[in-house]
Structure 1
Amino acid sequence: MSHRTKQVVTALGVVGGVARGVVFAAAGVFVLVAAVRFDPDEAKGGDATLRSFAQTPAGPWLLVAVAVGLILFGVFSFSFASARRRRL
């Protein structure tokens, strides 16, 4: 793999991983709040977490940024899997 390709794949992994981490961290916060308040209805999964991003003041822009990050993570995963398949 060329140096430039490694840089692109690494950038895809970093940006995508951050977006994925944001979604998982927000879902974890909802679970913690539900546990502290003893209200299991406040716990949310990934889809409800993304819907809650849309209701923030940044609204659609935050949702678009997370969506682009998740798409980049998918591209990274595909490129990484392709590279491993070629290496084997």
Structure 2
Amino acid sequence: MSAQVIALADVRAQDPDRDVAARHLPAVMSPAQLGKELDVTVRTLERWRVAGEGPDYQNPKGTRFYRYYGSDVEAWLENRKPGAATPGQDTNL
């Protein structure tokens, strides 16, 4: 798991009333933007989408574009335990 994902989850665990803006997550993000925020690749986000393991996303009908809402990413981080493995990460290392 990337250090930034752990840090965001830890911040949420310490102060659950903080809003998305306080964590500097944009309201709407492309996969590239979210990848930078979480320190993961766009391909990792794609694998999470296919496996249903990552944050919720939006795919406007008739397009090939995906968007992530900051509030959905926050909800995903909130439901993860701090220090938990990133979806698909090998924990048997």
More helix by share: 1
More strand by share: 2
With the length of structure 2 as denominator, give the TM-score of the two structures. Answer: 0.24
Larger radius of gyration: 1
With the length of structure 1 as denominator, give the TM-score of the two structures. Answer: 0.24
